[in-house]
Amino acid sequence: MKNIYHAFLGVGQQSNYSSLENKKIKLLNIYVLITLHFVVIMPIGDTITGIITSKIMLSYLVLLLFMAVILILNKHHKYYLATSLWLGIVLFTIFMFSTVLLPEAYSEYYYVFVPGIALTLFNKNTIPAFVTLFSLFLFFIPYYVIVVYPASVVNKLDPFAVFGLFTCVYLLVNYFKKINTDNEKELRATYLKLEETKKNELANLQLKLLRGRMNPHFMFNTMNSVQNLVIKGNTMDTYTYLSKFSAVIRDNLKMSEKTYVFFEDEFFLLQRYLELEKLRFKNSLTYKLEKVDVAHHVKIPSMIVQPFVENALHRMFHKTEGIKEINIQFHQNNNFITCTILDNGVYLEELFLDDSKDSLKEQPTFSVENIKQHLELLKEYYKINIHFEYSLLDNKTRCLIQIPQTK
């Protein structure tokens, strides 16, 4: 299956293309692959829930046919035609489901993701800007043109909040697109410099580090939370959430530029991040963040703890019932600051235990691998040796992180 996916994503790529061109071709293939999974999975779900109809099934088959056409165009190096066709088909499919096939199902909120996707597929912003405005127009059709909702739902919709949501998605993705472009230029320059000094391995690690700083799960979970607030008509909560989200993003970018930061700054950033996740989980999440005798003037490597917390929250997100609990404690000991993270996520049930039944085997997950590469880079290039380990404690996952300090 892995080989099939690899061959699928490589359709249309050429060795004589630039890395940027091949990257965009691969990205389009990824979107086509996601759509194909959607076409296969959704009919099953619709059948189980009893909402499947002959028209809906026909729509899925037509969508499947167009995905095949797009792949053929991509294989014959018609990238822009294939991309335009994919965007057009996606917009038309959302329109049909939101107005004809499944009205009153809030399918129009899928339009929110289209501007961000368009920005990733085109170098210039002209087409993405047009797609954003057109998607915003299509969003309001089920409410004001082909009215499918009762008056109570239409009256509760806040057009300004919806406009702010689309604008926020466009500006955020465009901003990170610019950051990524700048990083690509910086990385190319860094790679050439390190190649001259025979440090290619370090350059590859830096490449993965810069590209992995923004967690896509965090971005999409945040957009889903904003979507739910808009559906419920919680305008003030929407503005509050977006404000806190912007602050967390700004602080993350600021901290990512530094190798060392004051512990208090790292602690405050972590607190802001947990407050934002608390808004997302509502009353189902409780957290405790505390520090014990940690000096104010101490400095530590930046953005070390947050990836571990994101890992824990991602596992707790799949907890179907009960309160999600995470406790984080820092304490200072000699020349180290030890962070203990304790959570009750479902990850425990999915781990393979060793023979002693009291510790967790190392897991080859993408998130843990990214963390390891980050720490290896700090160890090799900055001589910062950070140690972490997972263990079981009272049916909970405990992560201990030992962080060297500096003054």
Instruction: Name which residue leads in pLDDT, 235 or 206.
Output: 235
- Max mean pLDDT among 156-165, 173-182, 215-224, 389-398 falls in 156-165
pLDDT at 237 over 80: no
Amino acid identity for residue 296 in this structure = H
Give me the pLDDT at residue 277, please: 82
- CA dist 103 and 96 (Å) reads 9
Helices (H), 76-143: 79-96, 113-121, 126-140
Residue 344 has pLDDT above 80, yes or no: yes
Match domain 259-404 to its CATH number in 3.30.565.10, 2.60.40.1220, 3.40.190.80, 3.40.50.720.
Answer: 3.30.565.10
Question: Contact at 8 Å (CB) between 351 and 360?
Answer: yes
pTM exceeding 0.75: no
pLDDT at 142 > cutoff 90: yes
3-state secondary structure of 362: coil
Instruction: Locate the domains of the chain by residue range.
Output: 2-230, 259-404
Q: What is the pLDDT of residues 240-289, one digit of tens each?
A: 778 887 887 777 777 766 778 889 988 998 998 888 888 777 778 899 99
Beta bridge pairs of residue 261: 300
Given this model, what pLDDT does residue 364 score? 40
Of 1-15, 71-85, 129-143, the least confident: 1-15
For residues 363 and 388, what is the distance between their CA atoms, to the nearest angstrom?
13
Query: Is it the case that residue 360 has pLDDT exceeding 60?
Result: no
Q: What is the pLDDT of the chain when averaged over all its residues?
A: 81
Residue 49: band (very low, low, confident or very high) from pLDDT cuts 50, 70, 90? confident
Which pLDDT band holds residue 206 (cuts at 50, 70, 90)?
low
- Sort strands 285-292 and 324-333 into parallel, antiparallel or unpaired: parallel
For the chain, percent of residues with pLDDT exceeding 70: 82
Mean pLDDT of 93-100: 94
Look at strands 336-343 and 396-404 and give their pairing.
Answer: antiparallel
Give the whole-angstrom CA distance, residue 168 versus residue 242: 8
Q: What are phi and psi of 401, to 5 degrees?
A: -120, 125
Interval 373-405: pLDDT, tens: 778 777 776 678 888 888 888 888 899 999 988
76 has pLDDT over 80 = yes
* Overall average pLDDT of the 126-146 stretch: 94
* 282 or 177: which leads in pLDDT: 177
What is the model's pLDDT at position 17?
Answer: 83
